[in-house]
Amino acid sequence: MQTFDSGGVRVAFLDQGEGEPVLLIHGFASSTRYNWLETGWVDFLVRNGFRTISIDNRGHGESDKPHDQQAYGGPLMAEDARRLLDHLGIERADVMGYSMGARITAFLALRHPARVRSAIFGGLGGNMVRPMAGTAAIAHALEARSIDEVSNPTARTFRAFAEKTGSDLVALAACIRSSREPVTEQMLAGLTCPVLVAVGTEDVIAGSAADLAALIPGAEALPIPRRDHMLAVGDRVYKEGVMDFLRRRP
């Protein structure tokens, strides 16, 4: 992976393939490797003729991992994505984010609409406009001396995933404790780019794809049958639905 300086933070990224650019923004505690490479997304998009750029969000993967919660938040991380487009000389791109990455994609599309050709919100549906519950429990789980000390089922899932990805647990705790500027229904109503919302039908973390799509003019919902938050990301229905969307969007 390559790196660039984003406002004093070293941010890693992967740039593969040729054609129209697609920027990928991964979810919390994940990375380019786990969200997009191991699930086959990068290979899938490159084989279908797209230049595929994936960012390791600050605090994740091969990027710098500040331990100060002021270094995080959706708007700040959206600026990392915008600076990456600047660094690569890309005027605009299709942007797909998963889970936390979907919130970052929303901030990028809202603050820099000319840079986002289309937005794909994966793994985050109606709950995008609702406050995320349980962040304190997840932060405490990340800071626990051992996963054996974590009894909350959701928090334990996040701790287990963070351990699987070899993450910096202190950095992730700072990230999830950071200021969570809301994405409101009024903000989403102002989106002008084509939007696809792709969520597993068993995903209780994300909420409904249809509920979020209903808030965005012209948005499409893509339910991913029988998949939860963790399993939907690599699903064939998700990949084929995104490809159909990218082929049709203006």
- Residue 236 has what pLDDT? 98
Name the pLDDT band for 206 (thresholds 50, 70, 90). Answer: very high
Do residues 191 and 198 touch, judged by C-beta distance below 8 A?
no
pLDDT for 6: 98
The pLDDT of residue 134 is 72
- Percent of the chain surpassing pLDDT 70: 100
Q: Which whole-number Å values give the CA distances from 71 to 74, 79, 84, 197, 240, in the listed order?
A: 10, 12, 17, 28, 36
pLDDT of residue 145: 94
Kindly report, residue by residue over 59-76, the tens digit of the pLDDT.
999 999 999 999 999 999
Q: Can you tell me the distance from the alpha carbon of 145 to that of 168, in angstroms, rounded to the nearest whole number? A: 13
Q: Return the CATH class of domain 2-131+180-248.
A: alpha beta
pLDDT (0 to 100) of residue 150:
95
Round the average pLDDT of the chain to a whole number and report it. 96
- pTM for this model (two decimals): 0.96
Q: Which residues make Cβ contacts (< 8 Å) with residue 205, sequence separation at least 6?
A: 99, 123, 127, 154, 229
As given in the structure block, the two tokens for residue 147 are: 């996963």
Instruction: Output the CA–CA distances (angstroms, integers) from residue 139 to 29, 78, 132, in the order listed.
Output: 12, 22, 13
Mean pLDDT, range 195-206, rounded to an integer: 96
Residue 132 has pLDDT above 80, yes or no: no
The arithmetic mean of pLDDT across residues 203-215, rounded, is 96
| Band of pLDDT at residue 103, cut at 50, 70 and 90 | very high
3-class SS shares of the chain: helix, strand, coil, % to 5:
45, 20, 35
> Does residue 3 sit in helix, strand or coil?
strand
The answer on pLDDT for 116 being more than 80 is yes
Walk across the sheet containing 195-200 and list its strands.
Answer: 2-6, 9-16, 50-55, 20-25, 93-98, 116-122, 195-200, 220-224
State yes or no: pLDDT of 33 exceeds 90.
yes
Min mean pLDDT across 99-108, 113-122, 133-142 is at 133-142
Instruction: Determine contact, residues 203/125, Cβ cutoff 8 Å.
Output: yes
- What are the residue ranges spanned by the domains of the chain? 2-131+180-248
Does residue 133 have a pLDDT over 90? no
Residue 122 — very low, low, confident or very high, per pLDDT cuts 50/70/90?
Answer: very high
The answer, yes or no, to whether residue 179 has pLDDT greater than 80, is no
